[in-house]
Amino acid sequence: MAVSRVPLIAGNWKMNLDHLQAIATVQKLAWTLKDANHDFDAKGSEVAVFPPFTDLRSVQTLVSADKLDVVYGAQDVSEHDSGAYTGEISGAFLKALECTYVIIGHSERRTLHGETDEQLARKVAAAIRHGLVPVLCVGETAEDLEQHGPSAVPVAQLRAALEGLSGSPDIVVAYEPVWAIGSGQAATPEQAEQVAAKLRETLAELFGQETADATRILYGGSVKASNIASLMREPNVDGALVGGASLDVAEFASIARFQKHVGT
């Protein structure tokens, strides 16, 4: 990856770990990273966790009291700011809890909750409105891959979610092939790079080369300590969105320290 982009290693806990488990997990993660002399300079990576909504206040309290080198975000956000939307969470509330990021359009939201590209575009706009950095997930199913090739669907999803934005939006894109999520079968580094490069080209078309060059593109889908280094060697892969392996602190910390295994 290009030197100017700080790698982002993001752990999506999905519906796992309550607020007490979150405290123990984040504490252990911060200690493990510290022991390993992890830092946030250009050589290090930024480490983020995405716990369930009900954990966020506890995580905020811990991270701010102990000044931990871990940032955090939510797994979803409402497109609305306030009002009669039972069960929804406003970006304003996430900002008040000092969330840095919010995941938008994870394939589980798209498929299990029927979230459409149009709705996701409104969620991206809501995140930006509240000063949160959207981590926009895009990715093709196995069927899409067979019918349209690897990049057509992710590129179309990216366009649909971002087309309404102007200027140089501060966003993160996560390429997550649906067939790789939770399957144990990650994309090869070449496959991840091919799509990430197309996504960057599309960002350049939408917002100019400078913004495209500054935007981090993550790969997600069965990332583990054993495959992160080879993925991170690709020039357009700037980090990872990690599901299952983020629940195991030792494994996740090892992923965050991928630089230690690059070149090995």
Using the rule CB under 6 A, which residue among 51, 73, 154, 220 binds ligand PGA? 220
User: Nearest CA to 59 among 101, 24, 11?
Assistant: 24
Does 239 interact with ligand PGA (rule: CB under 6 A)? no
Stretch that binds ligand PGA, among 114-122, 191-199, 215-223, 249-257 (CB under 6 A): 215-223
Does 256 interact with ligand PGA (rule: CB under 6 A)? no
Q: Which helix (H) or strand (E) holds 219?
A: strand 216-220
Q: Yes or no: say if 210 and 5 are a contact pair by the CB < 8 Å rule.
A: no
Using the rule CB under 6 A, which residue among 242, 249, 253, 256 binds ligand PGA? 242
Does 52 interact with ligand PGA (rule: CB under 6 A)? no
Distance in Å, CB of 26 to ligand PGA, minimum: 18
Report the chain's C-alpha Rg in angstroms. 17
Q: Of the two residues 71 and 242, which places its CB atom closer to ligand PGA in the complex?
A: 242
> Residue with CB nearest ligand PGA?
243
Spatial neighbors of 94 by CB under 8 A, at least 6 apart, are: 56, 73, 74, 77, 102, 130, 132
124-183 binders of ligand PGA (CB under 6 A): 176, 181-182
Q: Yes or no: say if 225 and 251 are a contact pair by the CB < 8 Å rule.
A: yes
Tell me how crowded residue 111 is: count the other CB atoms within 10 A of its CB: 11
Does 222 interact with ligand PGA (rule: CB under 6 A)? yes
